[in-house]
């Protein structure tokens, strides 16, 4: 008897919840029907529009935007996604309505690789993320902090130049040399040392490559780093932070922080800084050299500038970079054609809003296709040609002010490491051009050089660049 009453109750509950579910669903449909959504291809059940996205999503999405316009709607599985593909639409998302789009979508992968979104990149909009950005601005990437690490960047650049000098006349894989500098610079600035004395599998390079599958092992590495730092700090009165992990641990000790920074938070931020800072500059410099090897006259013009500003008896230092407008133009042109994040990092709308008369419901993912904007023939003459001259005498910067060139994004979620990234790219590029003559290996012609990319955490060359270098300066300059 009791069990039949229970099953009747259960049935009633089940039917009521089913009815409520269908009511909510049909209300949702009715609401959606009245929404004026941006145009886009018709989605399939379950997969949405994923069938239209190839191995280079920014290119597939670019093609779709030519058909559906500068603001279109796609479905990735069941998730609605809007894509901005013009300066005006980028401005809407990253500037005019920046605050409404200041969150990030949650993904299963993100959950397990970012300590449940406690890093900076994937943490949702809120007090925790706002505090993280304040830490970046005031502590981690302040001009004073970055200046205090200039000696590290100079030492690691010298090691790169020395390594290339030793490999003169041989065919080198440029990316190997560039990745080593980036990783060494970021390891020393963030972790305080290179950690090369430990076994290869215990070093960040091994982990960064396989971070997704090895997040547990990476965690063990970070635990070890934090223990070492705490041992060094323990009991030392007025301890002065020597690297970014020290800064984070001091912040974690601060009882006055609005939101407590836990040990997990310190690990998540540290992982973010290593991941964000390692690949991006190496990939950009590799693209720059690839474009230059196709057009030796650009190298000639750059070396003329370097000879007249730097002379042939010393290396380029960070303070010289502002006097090298042509080298800067090469860097901007590289970032226009080969942005590391061609669609930035996805944002997510926090509330309902409208863009250009279209309704964008809360929870919509937003991509800004800076790759498309960088090749828009309405903005750029001959957009598919690499022409650094286009930037000379123009006031277009890469710092999120000029929406036609957004390699670091713009607005509240803009890359906090941009000034460090720019310093490393410019110093490396200028010295590579200053110190060496560059050519393609025998039997490879400028036309043969493949310029395909692959999509991933960054957007590197599909085939790593091989080149041959010869010293360009007097021999004694290489005794560094």
Name the residues that contact ligand HEM, by CB under 6 A: 120-121, 133, 272-273, 276-277, 280-281, 284, 340-341, 344-345, 407-409, 413-417, 420-421, 425
Spatial separation of the C-alpha atoms in residues 155 and 468, rounded to whole Å: 23
| Half-sphere exposure for 156 (CA within 13 Å, toward CB) | 25
Q: In whole angstroms, how close is the CB of 119 to ligand HEM at the nearest point?
A: 7
Spatial separation of the C-alpha atoms in residues 286 and 378, rounded to whole Å: 28
Q: In whole angstroms, how close is the CB of 422 to ligand HEM at the nearest point?
A: 7
What kind and span of H or E run contains 470? strand 466-471
Q: In whole angstroms, how close is the CB of 281 to ligand HEM at the nearest point?
A: 5
Q: In whole angstroms, how close is the CB of 56 to ligand HEM at the nearest point?
A: 17
Q: In whole angstroms, how close is the CB of 98 to ligand HEM at the nearest point?
A: 9
Spatial separation of the C-alpha atoms in residues 477 and 312, rounded to whole Å: 8
Q: Which two tokens stand for residue 231?
A: 């041992």
Beta bridge partners of 347: 366
Between 62 and 303, CB nearer to ligand HEM: 62
Between 284 and 290, CB nearer to ligand HEM: 284
Between 72 and 370, CB nearer to ligand HEM: 370
The C-alpha angle with vertex 189 and arms to 401 and 105, in degrees rounded to 5, equals 50
Between 43 and 70, CB nearer to ligand HEM: 70
Between 341 and 465, CB nearer to ligand HEM: 341
Q: Which residue has tokens 């593909």?
A: 85
For residues 65 and 83, is the Cβ–Cβ distance under 8 A? yes
Spatial separation of the C-alpha atoms in residues 306 and 120, rounded to whole Å: 38
Spatial separation of the C-alpha atoms in residues 101 and 33, rounded to whole Å: 23
Residues 6+ apart with CB under 8 A from 83: 61, 64, 65, 71, 72, 73, 74, 343, 366, 367, 368, 369
Between 184 and 284, CB nearer to ligand HEM: 284
| Half-sphere exposure for 252 (CA within 13 Å, toward CB) | 20
Q: In whole angstroms, how close is the CB of 455 to ligand HEM at the nearest point?
A: 14
The C-alpha angle with vertex 348 and arms to 342 and 351, in degrees rounded to 5, equals 150
Q: In whole angstroms, how close is the CB of 448 to ligand HEM at the nearest point?
A: 27
Q: In whole angstroms, how close is the CB of 315 to ligand HEM at the nearest point?
A: 21
| Half-sphere exposure for 184 (CA within 13 Å, toward CB) | 18
Between 80 and 407, CB nearer to ligand HEM: 407
Between 341 and 440, CB nearer to ligand HEM: 341
Radius of gyration (C-alpha) of the chain in whole angstroms: 25
Between 306 and 335, CB nearer to ligand HEM: 335
Spatial separation of the C-alpha atoms in residues 435 and 373, rounded to whole Å: 34
Q: In whole angstroms, how close is the CB of 436 to ligand HEM at the nearest point?
A: 22
Spatial separation of the C-alpha atoms in residues 120 and 244, rounded to whole Å: 14
Between 344 and 433, CB nearer to ligand HEM: 344
Spatial separation of the C-alpha atoms in residues 284 and 350, rounded to whole Å: 32
Q: In whole angstroms, how close is the CB of 401 to ligand HEM at the nearest point?
A: 13
Q: In whole angstroms, how close is the CB of 414 to ligand HEM at the nearest point?
A: 5
Q: What are phi and psi of 411, to 5 degrees?
A: 80, -160
Q: What are phi and psi of 39, to 5 degrees?
A: -70, 160
Between 279 and 305, CB nearer to ligand HEM: 279
Query: Length of the chain, please?
Result: 480
């Amino acid at each position: 008897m009791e069990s039949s009453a229970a099953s009747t109750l259960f049935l009633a509950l089940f039917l009521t919840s089913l009815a409520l579910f269908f009511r909510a669903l049909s209300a949702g449909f009715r609401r959606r029907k009245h929404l004026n959504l941006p145009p886009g291809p018709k989605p399939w059940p379950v997969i949405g529009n994923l069938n239209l996205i190839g191995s280079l999503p920014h290119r597939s999405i670019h093609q779709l935007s030519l058909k559906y316009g500068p603001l279109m709607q796609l479905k990735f599985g069941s998730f609605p996604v809007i894509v901005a593909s013009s300066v005006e639409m980028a401005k809407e998302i990253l500037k005019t309505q920046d605050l409404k789009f200041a969150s990030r979508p949650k993904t299963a992968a993100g959950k397990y690789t970012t300590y449940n979104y406690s890093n900076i990149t994937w943490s949702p909009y809120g007090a925790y993320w706002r505090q993280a950005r304040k830490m970046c601005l005031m502590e981690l990437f302040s001009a004073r902090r970055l200046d205090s690490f200039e000696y590290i960047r100079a030492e690691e650049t010298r090691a790169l130049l020395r390594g290339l000098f030793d490999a003169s006349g041989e065919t080198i894989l440029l990316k190997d040399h560039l990745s080593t500098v980036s990783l060494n610079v970021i390891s020393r600035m963030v972790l305080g040392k290179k950690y090369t004395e430990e076994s290869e599998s215990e070093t960040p390079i091994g982990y960064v490559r396989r971070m997704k599958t090895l997040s547990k092992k990476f965690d063990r590495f970070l635990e070890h780093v934090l223990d070492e730092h705490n041992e060094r700090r323990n009991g030392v009165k007025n301890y002065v932070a020597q690297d970014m992990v020290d800064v984070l641990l001091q912040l974690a000790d601060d009882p006055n922080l609005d939101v407590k920074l836990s040990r997990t938070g310190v690990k998540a931020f540290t992982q973010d800084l290593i991941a964000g800072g390692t690949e991006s500059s190496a990939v950009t410099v590799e693209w720059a050299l690839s474009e230059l090897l196709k057009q030796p006259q650009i190298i000639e013009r750059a070396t003329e500038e370097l000879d007249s500003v730097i002379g042939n008896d010393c290396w380029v230092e960070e303070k010289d970079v502002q006097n090298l407008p042509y080298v800067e133009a090469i860097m901007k042109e590289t970032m226009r054609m080969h942005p590391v994040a061609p669609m930035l990092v996805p944002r997510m709308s926090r509330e309902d809003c409208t863009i250009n008369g279209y309704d964008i419901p809360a929870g919509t993912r937003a991509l800004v296709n800076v790759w498309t904007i960088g090749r828009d023939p309405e903005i750029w003459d001959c957009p598919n040609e690499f022409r650094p001259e286009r930037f000379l005498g123009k006031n277009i910067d890469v710092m999120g002010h000029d929406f036609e060139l957004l390699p670091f994004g713009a607005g509240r979620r803009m890359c906090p490491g941009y000034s460090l990234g720019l310093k490393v790219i410019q110093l490396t590029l200028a010295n590579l051009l200053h110190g060496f003559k560059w050519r393609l290996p025998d039997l490879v012609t400028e036309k043969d050089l493949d310029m395909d990319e692959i999509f991933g955490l960054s957007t590197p060359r599909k085939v790593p660049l091989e080149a041959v270098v010869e010293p360009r300066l007097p021999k004694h300059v290489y005794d560094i």
